Structure 1
């Protein structure tokens, strides 16, 4: 996954649970541990690199969920004039507050340019974390920085809130005719439209 798309991956940890409700993959530290291990490779460029032994705690969870809330608020702004995800309507901070939260999270762990040049191989320009920040703040900062890259990049204009019934996901539109985040959502939307067209009028 492109590093900037970590923001999208974080946003969709709020998802449809398959039973008409909403599930949160980051409801507890164990969920964050699993998510970080799955996305560890993408976290490295932003200074949030982890290893297979990463274990999230309550502080890290709170920091990351705070970034996710800001990201989803800004995603809701990005899809205007279209509607936001139903999971976000009326439940998120305003865009100004979300921007402040995102900038504060990113600023807690500054990065500096760094050049690495192994004895065998090419020189590689990258970034290094300043000091020894708290692991939870480092992770939250890495995700905030990835969100900044996404929201200031070309994919923001292709961001959509999936309109399928009960779906709460955001997605990046791969082609102009794409309407849903995945085929199953398209199937569910078509079935819902079919039933709506053929529903018998109520006798009441």
Structure 2
């Protein structure tokens, strides 16, 4: 699982399009759907198959997300974090400990693949045949790699009205996670300037 999965996991809390906040992991089916959208299930498992995804796995995945979002909030400091859970974030030291413990649920060992035709390729192979633990450990390792890598310094919380996403800044002037958020933010600024001007004019004798 690529380290960008950490950003995708954090983004399972999102704007619902109607002024509120949606949680893609609020149900077992929601977690299953999200796993299926991840293109490479870890270690050859398909955690969305059968009864692998249950309420226990959902609760544990949500706890990993809590740790990730707490550390994302720390990474973007001193600017404000994403607002939905900013008032009830897991303490940073607890979040670090939780990610490290979850990443260690499934030990991995390096393996070499070298087909008769083609170059060799190194991969990590899980040493425990437990789809739930494998998924959780993969999510935690993705977060560790993301937060320990260069993307952490470019992590931002989108400041557009109603947006609750984190994003990685792609260029020096980027303020929002996507163009539609930029359009909404500019419209809000225009409205605010116009509203202040109108109020100022009406207050004059």
CA contact (8 A) 2:112 2:120 kept: yes
Query: How far apart are the structure 2 equivalents of 1:63 and 1:144?
Result: 11
Deviation at 1:119? 4.2
Q: CA 1:74/1:48 → structure 2, altered by over 3 Å: closer, same or farther?
A: farther
How many Å separate the matches in 2 of 1:156 and 1:59? Answer: 30
Q: Does 1:21 align with 2:20?
A: yes
Q: How many residues align?
A: 199
The answer on 1:85 being equivalent to 2:73 is: no
- The answer to whether structure 1 residue 140 and structure 2 residue 106 are counterparts is no
Deviation digits for residues 16-43 of structure 1 (CA, Å, limit 9, x no counterpart): 11111110011111111111111132x4
Q: Which has the larger radius of gyration?
A: 2
Contact 2:36 2:48 in 1 (8 A): yes
Q: C-alpha offsets along residues 102-148 of structure 1, whole Å, 9 cap, x if unaligned?
A: 11111111111112233444332111111222x22211110000001
Q: Say which of 170, 191, 195 aligns to 2:187.
A: 191
Report how far residue 51 of structure 1 moved: 7.1
Counterpart CA distance in 2 for 1:50 and 1:127 is 17
Q: Is the 8 A contact 2:114 2:121 kept in 1?
A: yes
TM-score normalised over the length of structure 1: 0.90
Distance 1:51 1:25 in 2: 17
When residues 101 and 52 of structure 1 are mapped into structure 2, their CA distance, relative to the original with a 3 A threshold, is closer
State the distance in 2 between where 1:64 and 1:32 align. 8
Q: Give RMSD over aligned pairs.
A: 2.1
Call closer, same or farther: CA 1:131–1:150 in 2, change over 3 Å.
Answer: same
In structure 1, the partner of 2:199 is 201
Query: Structure 1 CA distance, aligned partners of 2:182 and 2:67?
Result: 28
State the 1:164 CA deviation: 0.6
Contact 2:128 2:134 in 1 (8 A): no
Conserved? CA contact 1:40–1:49, under 8 Å: no
**Runs in 1 of length 4+ with deviation above 6 angstroms?**
none
